[in-house]
Structure 1
């Protein structure tokens, strides 16, 4: 067993962030040909070179990666220079870009997908039944709890309690908004239709799983993998379900589940506070990015 301090240092960092930072450093060194340690002027030249090619959000991630690289190795942080900050502000001013968002999954499309998966649950092939049971549970849990893809992939069976006629209690050890890794317990309600609790029970029954990662890969022969699904694979999985259901997958991703629930809740008169508490948002601006609000023009509308 690894007892070194590095084990805990690695655990404090999100794997997705580590990958993005490593890619950013490689982009600076290999893609652009920059030298490390870098000077503030070289960082300004780097930003200037990619100012009209990369989004300002991507450039901010690259600056954060460069800052951490220098600080970890004991060098001065070149990204704190006023010229670097002014260059980034200028890029945002001259190259404004709308934030790209996934399409919100509407209840109608959700019903079509679940109806298709219900048909597949009756298939003669064990592999088809397994995949349908997994996809149904993943989609319904993801929608009704507005989970991020990484939160879905970190769900573990031993962290889930089934309360008959009530729902599920899930412990999330960490999430994007839980930087201190304190974890939180969330509840999943049992519903009259499109029920995530019933779908969870069907998946456990079909898979025979009793512990470990809840959502795993399934090969063509119906063998369930030992490890959790990769969060980056969920968008492809969702689009495959759409294609099998004759729903156009264009514009949808795993984030569509989260946006879909937020849009549904808003349309069903959830208050901003209730929605923020349920989903786990800390501020109204975070919630607003997920909700499609229609301005009430009344009789003036066409």
Structure 2
């Protein structure tokens, strides 16, 4: 039976993290044939076996999953061994890999998508019209607030307030950077074009929603689902919009919205502090990973 403490413990852990940790434990046991509880030497052998197959970031996630499994069940944590740390450090040195990042969504590509969705909004088929309204609101909110896919999927209508002539106020109960789950309030400005606030109002009017998850699945008959869209489905949704809009979807994901806004803000002379405060980054290094800096070669450039 599901007890109240169990519910609170689950709430303290992000669903996406839980899924990744479960996959990591399964990989250690079923894929590699490891035994739990594990010794530090078996963890070293595991890392050595996959050192040239998995990225160092993936291996770090697997170590974190193993560490938590042992800690929760009262066993000594084998990942704390100096040999384990040195093995991982050696893997990073011998198998360096560039960090794969989603392409940043440029403003002209964003505009192409919104124009196409605007055309679909004028169609008579309910399902087409509803999807266009939802996708338009999702893309514009995701871009102008630089939301992560999980933040978009967890938006709830009762946590959003419309401020006439100003914009939206959204309460985010939790996010990747909010480990203590204190939540934060963010504002979305009303804009002269590509306006996320107008798109939000259109989606609510078309869908008739007044509470619950903001973004939901829509079936072929135009029925709006009850539950929120899965965060993992947003990249596929975005690429489908790109295809319909004549934009090559190669290299794009839901993270392209976040990177696109960061790049746009940087090109429009936002200071590092202003960008970090707006997006919610806690350090400059996090912000730098999202910005495509162009070296100013001036007349030397071809």
TM-score strictly above 0.5: yes
Q: Which whole-Å CA distance do the structure 2 matches of 1:174 and 1:74 have between them?
A: 29
Give the SS at the match of 1:171. strand
Q: Which whole-Å CA distance do the structure 1 matches of 2:20 and 2:141 have between them?
A: 27
- Gapped regions of structure 2 (runs ≥ 5): none
Measured on the aligned residues, the alpha-carbon RMSD in Å equals 0.9
2:193 corresponding residue in structure 1: 193
TM-score (ref. length: structure 1): 0.99
TM-score (ref. length: structure 2): 0.99
1:269 corresponding residue in structure 2: 269
**For residues 47-126 of structure 1, what are the structure 2 equivalents within 5 Å?**
47-126=47-126
Q: Which whole-Å CA distance do the structure 2 matches of 1:250 and 1:112 have between them?
A: 16
Give the SS at the match of 1:217. strand
Does 2:46 correspond to 1:13?
no
Does 2:30 correspond to 1:23?
no
Give the SS at the match of 2:67. helix
Give the SS at the match of 1:241. helix
- 1:2 Cα deviation from its structure 2 partner: 5.7
1:280 corresponding residue in structure 2: 280
- Gapped regions of structure 1 (runs ≥ 5): none
- 1:117 Cα deviation from its structure 2 partner: 0.1
1:68-109 deviations in whole A, cap 9, x for unaligned? 001111110000111100000000000000000000000000
1:132 corresponding residue in structure 2: 132
- 1:39 Cα deviation from its structure 2 partner: 0.5
1:250 corresponding residue in structure 2: 250
Q: Which whole-Å CA distance do the structure 1 matches of 2:7 and 2:200 have between them?
A: 33
Q: Which whole-Å CA distance do the structure 1 matches of 2:43 and 2:100 have between them?
A: 26
- 1:298 Cα deviation from its structure 2 partner: 1.3
Q: What is the count of residue pairs matched by the alignment?
A: 302
- 1:67 Cα deviation from its structure 2 partner: 0.5
Q: Which runs of 4+ in 1 moved over 3 A?
A: none
Give the SS at the match of 1:187. strand
